[in-house]
Each structure stands twice: as C-alpha cells, then as structure tokens.
Amino acid sequence: MAKRNWRLAALSGAIVLMLAATACGKGDTQGSSASKESASAAPSATATSSQETKQEDGPLTKYDPPIEVSTIYWDSAPFKFKDGESLDNNVWTQEYENTLGIKLKTAWSFFGSLDQYIQKMNVAIGGGDLPDFMQVLPAQYKQMAAAGQLEDLTPYYEKYASDLTKDILNQDGGVQLKASYVGGKLLGIPHIGSTIDGTPLLWVRSDWLKKLNLPEPKTIDDLITIADAFVNKDPDGNSKADTYGLGVSNELYGGGPGLEGFFNAFHAYPGGMWIKDSSGKLAYGAVQPEMKTALGKLQEMYKKGLIDQEFGTKDSGKIQEQLVSGKLGMFFGQMWTPLWFGDGKKNDPKMDFQAYALPTTDGQPVFKQSGFPTGMYWVVKKGAAHPEAVFKLMNVSEEKGYGKTADATKYMTDNGIEFFKYAPILVEPPRKNLNNHLLVTEALNSKDTSKLNSEQKSIYDTIVKYQGGDSSGWGYDRVFGPTGAFSVIDQYVKNNEVLVTEYTAAPTESMGKYQSTLDKMEKETVTKIIMGAASLDAFDQFVANWKKAGGDTITKEVDDWAATK
Amino acid sequence: MTTRKWIREMPLHVMLIPTVVLLIAFSYVPMTGIAIAFQNFYPGHNFFSSPWVGWENFQYMLQLPGTLQVLYNTLFIAVLKIVANLVVPIVMALLLNEVRKMWFKRSVQTIVYLPYFISWVLLGGILVDILSPSQGIVNEILKAVGLPSVYFLGDNHWFPFTLVATNTWKEFGFNTIVFLAALTGINPSLYEAACIDGASRWKQTLKITLPGLLPIIILLATLSLGNVLNAGFDQVFNLYNASVYESGDIIDTMVYRIGMGDGQYSVATAVGLFKSVVSFILISVSYLLAYRFANYRIF
C-alpha cells in the first residue's frame, strides 16, 4: 500500500515540478552551496582526527577534534521545536556532539510531501550534489548503486555498528539487512520495518462464542461452524437476522479486513507475495493451484450466506460500521485492528474480541505471510570523509531511543513535540511492539514496573486502567495485553511461521508496466468466484491470462534477480 | 477598423490582458507536457533528458487486455449519459413551465438542483446504502410492489444503467434551469395567437415551445458531444468495485490505475492526449453541423 501512495504522490509531484520549475531551482542552489561547504570542511577534519583516533576506534569513540557531517532532513510538515532549539541545535545534535564529537550540518531540509522530496532527491542525485549521508528510496538506492555514487559500508558495519544497532538490524532474522547487499556489498543501511506486525490474525467475538457455546476456531471447519452460528443463531439477541459471518472488505487484502489469513490456511499466498515453488524457483503466490482450493471454500461459504452477500460493494469503511454497530463477529485482521473500532466497545460494553492463530485445514503448520517492509535506505556518498560516522550516529540514536538509557521524554516526544524527528538516523526496532507486549505482560504479573521504559509504562497504565473498569483502554489490552494480539504473534515467531516474500528488491521494469493490470484481473476473478458470478474454473483461465498479460515476463525478471542475488 | 474605433476600444483590450496572460500561463504552457506522451518519462528527468519512444505508449495501451472492453464501456456509458442529460431536463423544464403556483415551481427547481452540489465521494457512500439489496430503500420499494431485488452496484447487467440513472438524478437540475431560462425568452404573443387559433396546450408545446428551445438544445448537445469519452471519473471511481470491472471500468479509471498506481506517466499522458484529440474532432464536427443546420454561431 505504501508503495502505491508514493507513486500517486510522485505523479502529483511531477505536475508540481513542471509548474514550479523556478522554486526547485532555488532549493537546488541552496543544497549545492551547503554541501560544498561541508565537503571543504570535512577533509581538514579528517587529516587531524584520523591519526589520533586510529588505535581503538570503535562504535562510540569520540572524534577529537570534532568533525562535521552533513545530511538532509525531510518530513511532511515542519518540525516543532522547544524554545531556543532548532534543527542545528537540539537535544540530538547536542548528544551527538558531546558523546561523538560529530557536528551535524544540515545540507538542506525539506518539508512537504514525499513526492516532492523524491523529486528533490532525484535532482540532487542527477546533479551529484549530495551530502555525506541521506535517506533514499529503493529505486534511488538501486540507481545510485549502479552509478557508483555510494560508499561501501561493509567493513564499517562490522567495526562500527554497536551491539544494539546490530541487534535491531537483525531482529527480523536479518532478512532485510541481507536484502540490502548489492553485489556482496552493503551500500546502504535499510530503514527496516517489522515483518511480524503485519501478519494476519483471526479475530473472533469471544462473548458471542461463549453465549452460543461454540468451539475455538482451530480448523477451517470450526470457522465455518462459528460463521454459521453467527449468521443464523442471532448472537446479538435482537431476534433479527442482521448479523454477518466472516467479514471481508472488497479490497480483499490488508488488515481492514482481508483474506490473506484464510488463504494462508490453505497454503496459498496472494497479495503480491513471491514464494519458492517446489522446484526452488520464485513464483507468484496468487496464481498457484492452492488458491483455487481456498476460493472453492470461499464460494461455498458465500453461497451458504456466511459471507456478506454484498461484500463486493463494502469497503473497509463499511466493515468498520458493521463492527462498531456490533453486527460482525469474525474477520481476518492484523494486530492493530481492535484499535480501529474501539467505539464498538462504547456502544456495547459486552463486546469483546479475541485474536486467534490462523486455523488449519490439514494439521500442517500454517505460514503467515508478510510483505517486504523496507521503505528507505540510508546511504553514504562515495568519497565522504567519515563513512563510519553514520554508524556512530545510529548507535547513539538507537541507544537513546530504544536502548537501556532510553529516555522517551527527553529524546522522543514530550508535550506534543516530537524530538525523535531531529535524529537523522533512527530505526524503530522491528520487535518493539512484540517486546512491549512481553515486558508489559511480565510487569502485569509481577506488578514491578521498573523494567519498563516510558512507552511501555504508558501501555501498562492504560491496561491497568482497563482492568479496573475503564473501557477506553480495551483496544490496547486486545493488542498488547497478556492475551492480546501479540501473544499470538509471539507464537508465530517462536514457531518460525512467518513467511516473508522472497522478492525483496525495487519493482522490476515489467512490474511497473503490468502490475496494475494484473492486480485488476486478480481482484476481479477472486471477487467473482467468491460471489458465484464466475465458476471456480474461471481461476484456470485467469492464470493463463495472467501469464500472457505480463506475468511470465515479470516472473522471468524476478528469477533473473534471484539468480544474481 | 477605423483608428477612432480602435482608440475607443483600447481600454477594453487592455482589460483583457490579465486574462490572456493567465490563460497562456495555465492553459497553454502546460500543454507542452503533451511531449511526454511520446517519451519514456521518469520523474526527476525533464522533457529534454527523457528518451523519445514515438507511438510506443499508444501501442502499449492498445495491446493491454481489456482495452477494447474499456473503450466500449466508456462510449456506452457516456452516450447514455449525454442523451439522458438532455431529455430529462427538457421534460422537467416543460412540466415546470406549466406550473401556475410560483412558490411550488421555485421550490421544485431548487430541490432538484441541490444534488448537483454534492460530491461523488459522499454520494458514493450514500448510494451503496440506498441501493443495497438487503437494506436499501430502493429495493424495499421493489420488494413491496412484488419485484425481485436487484444488486444495482454488483451486477454487470445493471451497473451501467445505475451509473446513468444516478448521474442524471444528480446533474439534471442544472440543465433544467438553463432550459427554464430559455423558455422565458419565448415571445408570449405567440402563445396568445395560438390560443386564439384554438391550439391545445399540447399543440402549443409542440409548435411553439420546442422550436423555441431548439437553439439552446443544440448548443448543449454540441457542448456535451465533447464528453463522449468522459464517462465520469469521480462517479465511476467511487461506485465501481471488482465485481463490476467488466461493465464499469472506463478509460479514466484505467488511466488512474496505470498512471497513479504503476507510475507510468507517459502512458497516462498518451491516453489523455488520445481522449482530447477525439473530443476536439467531435466538437468541431458537431459545431459545423450546428452551424449549418441550426444557424448556431460562436464566431
């Protein structure tokens, strides 16, 4: 989804650029003069510092005398500052200067939409006017790597990344870090995201389960039994047949709510996933035969009325209405979904949802799919005086943001002012949410909050309040609480059941050309088959069409990429 | 033109300058962007650094599966809309014209004009509820008179007609007002004469009112012909869904998915250019026809 938005944004950016060529020109000159200054300032610093600090130079060694490192700041809206602070003088720059002897220099900053930032970065990359380090998109990363504009960070990673930094970058099992290597070289630090936060979960109204004396959903047959009872046995007790079985939005995929969880139960992986087929080659999940089995089951459920007969016209907004009004009791969502319809708890205090692991069809382990979450890369300009400085900065950022000495009110947010935005390099640990759950749960058992950092403490307080009868904390309890979504995700991780897409690079050329057409075909076919407007065999026709309309070309490109990886 | 006349009209020409400048800056200068229809354009590059590819973008568009279906859908929906948007307002204006009570006429006129101002984003959400087969009021009525319920927004047979009907409902108030204004321009003495000659109300409508309206009908028809490839992006985008792609996907929604979704700006521009050329030809032809047969002139 995020990818979509960027492209959309990029187009409007293209239009803006055409109309406002002059504005961009101005920004450019500022950028270039700033980076020239820093370029001239940096080498002199190297000359003196490198000799003195050569022995025992490590992840947090201070530069003496201090060096200057230039970078770029971008955000959608201008930063807010406390009185007397600014981009060049704030809690983070002071921290870097005091502990590392690094003076951060703003080559340029830009506050506006991502598309415009992409434009400006494209211009800067094209003109070669780059600061010492900066954040770029996957496509730009690929392009800059090919053009030899990037410093090889491989040796610096080993020597200068702190244990905490290495831990954070490997919390996903190192998938995203490995995917950042280009030709065996680490040319950028991935701004990694979580592969576990987006895994599908089955959410069921536990108060209805109890009321109707239903089993927990362990298998798809259980799920069908529950859906049938939710539709036909009047779970809300108003003597009207106005409740739904399994909730599905017409977007088909995603957390609000989608069908990935259902398909995963049948070992099918749609929604843009690339998987390894039996021969070890990469294959597109949505055109594999397992899809057909799952679609057959969905068609059957629709025919029996267990899926909203009008799901084709119900987007996630309509599903949200159904949830808030207490008409829907089961859907495949993600960990955050209860926070999205908390108003339902206000309408009906009896409402309660429980997250369950995905049901099975055959007793085999069910793998939960996850897209590839790296959105950006930090890269260091080829020829920068201190390529290792980026790791030192990151070490300090992670320590003060998420480490043992983390102080959220000093470095992250306070009173609505978001200090963490001033840190030019900072990665949220992918397991942060899961760890929050684990530590909060532990604290709830032991009543000992001394191990919690300030974010965890606030979650803890919310849940304690909820347990004391304040229903406004219900969503937090369902997500982070002892039996919340993350207790299930914790099992996923422990059982090694998270399946990340195998294709981890920027979109290939044919993907750019054909993906939206193929997506449309897929969505149309899946929707029609479920609604019975097309027979199940229409799936075979779809697969054939998919291959002809660009799918084969994309698969070949993906295979070629996999061969060079 | 004499010198005196030129001097006298001088201030008027001067007053025109800001408009012309704005028109050039915002309508003509951006037209240079058409160039990217023939290029392989990437954001961050400009017209000069992008490679030229000739007609490749047009060929790519034509070979995509479903392009012909999309073209057909667009024409079908757009033509139906053009016809409905002429016929319904004419009938409405004629009926309102016969109303004697001024307050009633004015209220109806205002009420039917109101939906014109609601955005399709809002209407989209409302229509999904109104047209729902299980809870929607329309299907409640159908069921009450013994007809089967219809899934207006999910059935490929009904979807195009639903689009036309809802669009007409939203838009017809505007043209109704235009026609009502034209009706006031018809000389009342014609009706008096017809009355004296014993013509009935119906005869008066056929022989006086409709011929009197003809110029404005031709004008509106001519202008709307330029829309023959505009099936209404806002409306379709907010109402369609995967189950009615077959009958509801139009050029604009396709371009949206390709241009915005896949970031293929060149292809999107190429299709936009194609639409503009077709519209330009149709407007020119219909203007010539109006010029010849209805004596309608702009210049």
Say if residue A253 is in the same domain as residue A127. no
Rounded CA-CA distance A391/A164 in Å is: 11
Q: How confident is the model over B92-136, as pLDDT tens digits?
A: 999 998 888 989 999 999 999 999 999 999 999 899 999 998 889
Rounded CA-CA distance A518/A521 in Å is: 5
Chain A residues closer than 8 Å to B259 by CB: 11
CA B171, distance to chain mean position in Å, is 9
Chain-chain contact of B249 with A250 (C-beta, under 8 angstroms): no
pLDDT at B264 over 60: yes
Both tokens assigned to B265: 């700006």
- Neighbour count for residue A22 (Cβ, 10 Å): 7
* Confidence (pLDDT) at A145: 87
Q: Which one, of A205, A233, A214, A210, lies nearest residue A325 by Cα?
A: A205
Q: Which residues are bridge partners to A342 per DSSP?
A: none
What is the signed CA dihedral for B181, B182, B183, B186, rounded to 10 degrees? 130
Say if residue A385 is in the same domain as residue A324. no
Rounded CA-CA distance B124/B237 in Å is: 9
Say if residue A218 is in the same domain as residue A132. no
For the ranges A51-60, A204-213, A352-361, the lowest mean pLDDT is seen at: A51-60
Say if residue A135 is in the same domain as residue A252. no
Q: How confident is the model over A292-341, as pLDDT tens digits?
A: 999 999 999 999 999 999 999 998 889 999 999 999 999 999 999 999 99
**Section A73-101 average pLDDT:** 90
pLDDT at A18 over 60: no
* Confidence (pLDDT) at B1: 55
B257 — pLDDT class (breaks 50, 70, 90) = confident
Determine if residue A350 is left, alpha or beta; phi over 0 gives left, psi from -120 to 50 gives alpha, anything else beta.
alpha
End-to-end Cα distance, chain A: 25
Residue A526 resides in a domain: yes
Rounded CA-CA distance B86/B217 in Å is: 8
Write out the CATH class of domain B65-293: mainly alpha
**Section A11-17 average pLDDT:** 42
**Section A488-507 average pLDDT:** 92
B42 — pLDDT class (breaks 50, 70, 90) = low
Say if residue A150 is in the same domain as residue A276. no
Enclosing domain of residue A476? 432-497
Interface test with B, best of A16, A120, A516 (most B CBs within 10 A): A516
- B133 and A CB contact within 8 Å: yes
Instruction: Return mean pLDDT, chain B.
Output: 88
B44 — pLDDT class (breaks 50, 70, 90) = low
pLDDT at A26 over 80: no
Q: At what angle do helices B102-113 and B159-184 cross, to 10 degrees?
A: 140
For the ranges A371-380, B128-137, B164-173, B257-266, the lowest mean pLDDT is seen at: B257-266
Q: How confident is the model over A262-288, as pLDDT tens digits?
A: 999 999 999 899 999 888 899 999 999
End-to-end Cα distance, chain B: 17
Say if residue A410 is in the same domain as residue A449. no
Specify the 3-state DSSP secondary structure of A75.
strand
Residue A427 resides in a domain: no
Rounded CA-CA distance A432/A147 in Å is: 36
Amino acid at A186: L
β-strands A201-205, A353-356 pairing: antiparallel
> Looking at CA atoms only, how far is residue B226 from chain A in angstroms?
25
**Domain termination site, one of A453, A481, A497:** A497
What is the phi/psi pair of residue A381, to 5°? -60, 140
**Section A195-224 average pLDDT:** 95
What letter would DSSP give residue A409? Answer: I
A44 — pLDDT class (breaks 50, 70, 90) = very low
Q: Confirm whether pTM is higher than 0.90.
A: no
**Domain termination site, one of A460, A480, A497:** A497
pLDDT at A50 over 60: no
Both tokens assigned to A18: 């055409």
Residue A55 resides in a domain: no
Chain A residues closer than 8 Å to B65 by CB: 517, 521, 545, 548-549
Say if residue A37 is in the same domain as residue A14. yes
Both tokens assigned to A356: 């369950």
C-alpha distances in angstroms, B232 versus B79, B81, B113? 11, 9, 19
**Domain termination site, one of A480, A497, A514:** A497
Q: How many CB pairs under 8 A join A and B?
A: 111
Say if residue A37 is in the same domain as residue A100. yes
A443 — pLDDT class (breaks 50, 70, 90) = very high
Highest mean pLDDT among A70-74, A410-414, A502-506: A70-74
**Section B273-296 average pLDDT:** 83
Say if residue A181 is in the same domain as residue A209. no
B43 — pLDDT class (breaks 50, 70, 90) = low
Strand blocks (E) in A271-422: 274-276, 282-284, 330-333, 353-356, 368-370, 376-380, 413-414, 417-418
How many independent structural domains does chain A possess?
Answer: 3
pLDDT at B160 over 90: yes
Say if residue A229 is in the same domain as residue A301. yes
Q: How confident is the model over A340-394, as pLDDT tens digits?
A: 998 899 999 999 999 999 999 998 999 999 988 888 999 999 999 999 999 999 9
- B246 and A CB contact within 8 Å: yes
Q: What is the CATH number of the domain that holds A550?
A: 3.40.190.10
Residues 6 or more apart whose Cβ sits within 8 Å of residue A48: A65
What letter would DSSP give residue A182? Answer: E
Specify the 3-state DSSP secondary structure of A99.
helix
Q: Which one, of A294, A440, A427, A436, lies nearest residue A369 by Cα?
A: A294
Per cent of chain A over pLDDT 70 is 90
Rounded CA-CA distance A373/A194 in Å is: 6
- Neighbour count for residue A84 (Cβ, 10 Å): 7
Say if residue A121 is in the same domain as residue A237. no
Where helices occur in A109-238 by DSSP H, the ranges are 114-127, 138-146, 154-160, 163-169, 175-179, 206-211, 220-232
Instruction: Return mean pLDDT, chain A.
Output: 86
A16 — pLDDT class (breaks 50, 70, 90) = very low
Q: Where are the domains of chain B?
A: 65-293
pLDDT at A83 over 80: yes
Both tokens assigned to B69: 């279906």
* Confidence (pLDDT) at A37: 38
Q: Which one, of B64, B46, B59, B57, lies nearest residue B266 by Cα?
A: B57
> Looking at CA atoms only, how far is residue B87 from chain A in angstroms?
30
- A146 and B CB contact within 8 Å: no
